[in-house]
Amino acid sequence: MDPDLIGAMLQLGLPLALLFGAYVFGNISENAHYRRLRRRERASRNFPAVTFKSIPPAWNVVNAELVTGNVVISIDHFKRFLAGLRGIFGGRLKSYESLLDRGRREAIMRVKEEARRRGAHAVINIRLESARIASSRRKGKGTTGVEVLAFGTALKLAK
Amino acid sequence: MILSNTESVPGKTITEFFGVVTGSTVRAKHIGRDFMAGLKNLIGGELKGYTELLGEARRQALDRMVQEAQSVGANAVVNIRFSTSSVAQGAAELFAYGTAVRVD
Amino acid sequence: MEFRGRLPEEGINVSRTHPLREALHLSAGLFLVGAVIVMLGAVLVDRIVPHIPTHWETTLFGSYGSSVAADAENGEEDAVLRASLQALVARLASHWPETPYRFRVIIVDQPEPNALAFPGGLIGVTSGLLEKVESENELAFVLGHELGHFHNRDHLRSLGRGLVLSLVLASATEGSTGNLVSLAPALAERSFARDQEREADRFGLELVYREYGHVAAAGDFFTRIHLPGTALERELVGYLSTHPVSSERIGALRVLGREQGWPDSGELRPFSR
């Protein structure tokens, strides 16, 4: 074996350790987020948030206003590396699926929470938008994170 | 000023409508200062600094849209939509638009 | 229109494949593809290099090391020694009549015994090596070995291989492991593969035979050089250094001499310092 190959392999050790650490702690962080999400979703499942505009006839609308919720989430270093590998071979980018799933659910959760804070009882016409936040250090090529925006109209009902 | 993303304000009737009003801010989307983004990029998770930054920028865009609506004499903006578009190398526009109306 | 607060099932939008397994598959695939390209690249380089005209090499690298040589040539005390080294190289090179190179020898002031070939025809010999040499025959073999590297165009081969390696690494990692990529060509340039060393040994031994009529003591230099430490440490150092391990090398030289029918004994010419 060439000495230069050995040197190259030794140089691979640090990035590999970083990847492994990112995998472990990234998983912990993601699972914790999912637990928080599920808890909040369960707690607010009786707070209606819908995408249509129709207002049930039984509802007596006292007030209506726009509410928004947004979140910027980053994926961990390991998942980003996985996506890079995928970029060579093509195929489904499974590592980003959880990022977007978390982002959407978090944004909708924040809309509900904001609506509740303003004394509303339901949100209608929810829309979602996502945008990529790129890295400035890599001149816009990397993905620092994804922003998900959710917005709708919060209704205060007369009981 | 009443804001809604539905076509009419629930519970009210539109008496006059004035046309499209918009509000926008252009932000450098690639943000240099890190707000803990370096660590978060390693293990993942919310970039709270960025979230607040973009939230603030969007509030500004909404405020500008409201200003436009006030200037035409409206008291509500309906059918509000948001848009983010890349306008230059490293900059994006945060854009809010809707229809200015008068409701009773 | 009645509202029922129900939550959808968990995990539908997220694939339940284990990311570690996927990473392993993709990395293995990538490594395989990269290794194949590097190996094919090495074969390609070996095919192409003999066809590269030597005057390209001398033009490209001719000035390389001439500043080093100029500095070394300024020392007056070494002038006589250097002249005799130069004469020895000239005698050895005369047995390689088609040589396009104009060889130049310089003495590098270092205690470790070493001999280096620089692209373009420059040979460097350390003062530490000259102190350990006992006969002209041994020194002739060391110099002949370096001439062998020039004969086989080993510098170009290493350059080519380093290029292929860094290209593959750069495209695979999209430049994200920057320092690794920049290191590879430098490493590749500094060391020759073991088979290249063996071929240089062959060439050097043949030159010695042509010059002296026998190959006695050609490998003696290496029996005298003791690398420090235990046998394992020596093995390791030899593995990682620019030349193969001494004991292997001496054995190979003996076998080669016997195969070619070159006499193993004869008069040794002394080397005067």
Q: What is the topology classification, in CATH, of domain B2-103? A: Translation Initiation Factor IF3 (3.30.110)
Contact C15, A92 (CB under 8 A): yes
Mean pLDDT, residues C84-112 taken together: 83
Q: Residue A66 corresponds to which tokens in the numbers above? A: 């726009």
pLDDT at A13: 75
Q: Delimit the domains of chain B by residue range.
A: 2-103
Mean pLDDT, residues A4-28 taken together: 78
Indicate the pTM of the whole model: 0.66
How many residues in total does chain B contain? 104
* DSSP designation for C140: H
Per-residue HEC secondary structure of chain B comes to CEECCCCCCCCCCEEEEEEEEEEEEEEECCCCCCCCHHHHHHHCEECHHHHHHHHHHHHHHHHHHHHHHHHCCCCEEEEEEEEEEEEECCEEEEEEEEEEEEEC
In angstroms, the CA C9 to CA C1 distance is 23
pLDDT at C63: 65
pLDDT digits (tens, 9 = 90+) for C252-272: 888 888 888 888 777 777 777
pLDDT at A152: 95
Mind telling me how many Å the CA of A113 is from chain C's nearest CA?
A: 16
For chain A, the domain total comes to 1
Among the residue ranges C32-36, C238-242, C264-268, the one predicted with the least confidence is: C238-242
Parent domain of A76:
3-157
pLDDT at B74: 92
pLDDT at B101: 93
Across the A/C interface, how many CB contacts are shorter than 8 Å? 86
Higher pLDDT, C12 or A48: A48
* DSSP designation for C135: B
* Cα separations in angstroms, C3 against A50, B7, C127, C141, C146: 10, 22, 93, 94, 88
Q: What is the CATH number of the domain that holds A88?
A: 3.30.110.70
* Chain A residues touching C239 at Cβ < 8 A: 3
User: Block means of pLDDT (10 residues each) for chain B, length 104 residues?
Assistant: 92 90 80 63 83 88 93 93 77 87 91
Mind telling me how many Å the CA of A85 is from chain B's nearest CA?
A: 17
Per-residue HEC secondary structure of A18-32 comes to HHHHHHHHHHHHHHH
Predicted confidence (pLDDT) at residue A20 exceeds the cutoff of 50: yes
* Chain B residues touching A133 at Cβ < 8 A: 29-31, 47, 50
Q: Which percentage of chain C shows pLDDT scores above 70?
A: 76
Q: What is the maximum span of chain A, computed from C-alpha positions, in angstroms?
A: 80
Predicted confidence (pLDDT) at residue C160 exceeds the cutoff of 50: yes
pLDDT at B65: 93
Interface of C with A in 198-257 (CB under 8 A): 239-242
